[in-house]
Amino acid sequence: MTAPSDTALVPFVSVDHMMRLVHHVGLRPMLRGLAEYIEADFKRWELFDKTPRVASHSAQGVIELMPTSDGEVYGFKYVNGHPRNTGEGLQTVTAFGLLADVSTGYPVLLSEMTILTALRTAATSAMVARALAPKTKAMAMIGNGAQSEFQALAMAELCGIEEVRLYDIDRAATAKAAANLSGQMRVTPCTSAEEAILGAGIITTCTADKQYATILTDNMVGAGVHINAIGGDCPGKTELHPALLDRAEVFVEYTPQTRIEGEIQQKPDDFQVTEMWEVLAGTRPGRTSDRQITLFDGVGFAIEDFSALRYVRDALPGTGLGQMLDMLADPDDPRDLFGMVMRAK
């Protein structure tokens, strides 16, 4: 039997290697680096093939495929969202993804993306907040699950946040997040969402519940804040009272997907929104006054995963991380796949 050629071997980043990559680069520099890659791709938004993600819904959750391409590189992510999983000791969100060379169609990277999704979601939140939020040193973090510490640290790294005010209906989740973040920033555990948002210039909602939830109502939120609403991300799963959307300037990733999955699913199809890439490219305004409420209705878009995979691909060389997978059949004569199988006996 002949050994597979180099083009037939695909680098694979396991969970273990992703964790080692995080420590090799450093968590905060990696969040900053991811934000740079995501922002660079948002600034060339029009180049990309875009489609709302392909979602398969069930009573328990959703399984989704998120593809995109910039014409040279193609990427997709497989991701699930199952809010009841944590009760069974499983994660709400797990993921893996792939990059491929458009010119040959050959995969060039396969990676775990559960950790990478938490990193890229945090990097996206902070990239958006850096462009829209008022000057502030304090944020509220409502929902203290798997995403929460990454969210807080990305806001610290990119937006200068020094205090995180934590709230979760499950006190054990708040205690976990407080312990994980202690020593990294000032941590204030709170016993209600109202208490958490006191004095916070950035309010992140990142809860998991498959219903039209009202984590924030209109009368709870004062003028001039930035809301980073990222937990509501599929049909029938939202976090904000619709009246709050009327008071805010709403920013989204890709409008056709957000109308299906985001907070704005509660609004008519002509509800006014601004796509974030336009703000970053300088063609649409971001925050226009101190008293304005800016609201990022973040659902997670394929380009963010594409950027994150690009970042990992570029960060890997020289680290000794990533194992080569014999993933692609590679007959010496490309048309003799059958012969290769028979000779393997």
Ligand X SMILES: NC(=O)c1ccc[n+]([C@@H]2O[C@H](COP(=O)([O-])OP(=O)(O)OC[C@H]3O[C@@H](n4cnc5c(N)ncnc54)[C@H](O)[C@@H]3O)[C@@H](O)[C@H]2O)c1
> Closest separation between CB of residue 307 and ligand X, Å?
13
273: helix, strand or coil: coil
Q: Which residue is nearest to ligand X (CB)?
A: 145
> Closest separation between CB of residue 38 and ligand X, Å?
11
Q: Does residue 263 contact residue 247 with C-beta atoms inside 8 Å?
A: no
CA 174/CA 144 separation, integer angstroms: 6
**Nearest CB to ligand X, comparing residues 121 and 294:** 121
- Look up residue 153 and give its amino acid: L
- Look up residue 205 and give its amino acid: T
Secondary structure element (H or E) that encloses residue 326, with its range: strand 323-326
**Nearest CB to ligand X, comparing residues 90 and 324:** 90
Q: Which residues contact 177 (CB under 8 A, 6 or more apart)?
A: 141, 144, 148, 149, 152, 166, 168, 187
> Closest separation between CB of residue 324 and ligand X, Å?
29
> Closest separation between CB of residue 299 and ligand X, Å?
5
> Closest separation between CB of residue 282 and ligand X, Å?
24
Q: Does residue 304 contact residue 45 with C-beta atoms inside 8 Å?
A: no
Residue 287 CA to its chain's centroid (Å): 22
Helix, strand, coil: what percent of the chain each, to 5?
40, 25, 35
- Which residue in 198, 208, 175 sits closest to 62, CA to CA? 208
- Which residue in 2, 1, 9 sits closest to 328, CA to CA? 9
**Nearest CB to ligand X, comparing residues 20 and 84:** 84
**Nearest CB to ligand X, comparing residues 11 and 231:** 231
Q: Does residue 12 contact residue 96 with C-beta atoms inside 8 Å?
A: no
> Closest separation between CB of residue 245 and ligand X, Å?
16
List the catalytic residue out of 41, 233, 297, 305: 233
**Nearest CB to ligand X, comparing residues 9 and 213:** 213
Handedness of CA 149, 155, 160, 165 (dihedral sign): negative
The footprint of ligand X (CB under 6 A) covers: 81, 86, 92-93, 117, 121, 142-148, 168-170, 173, 206-209, 213, 215, 230-231, 233, 298-300
Greatest Cα pair distance in the chain:
73
**Nearest CB to ligand X, comparing residues 157 and 168:** 168
233 catalytic? Reply is: yes
CA 19/CA 297 separation, integer angstroms: 29
Q: Which residues are catalytic?
A: 233
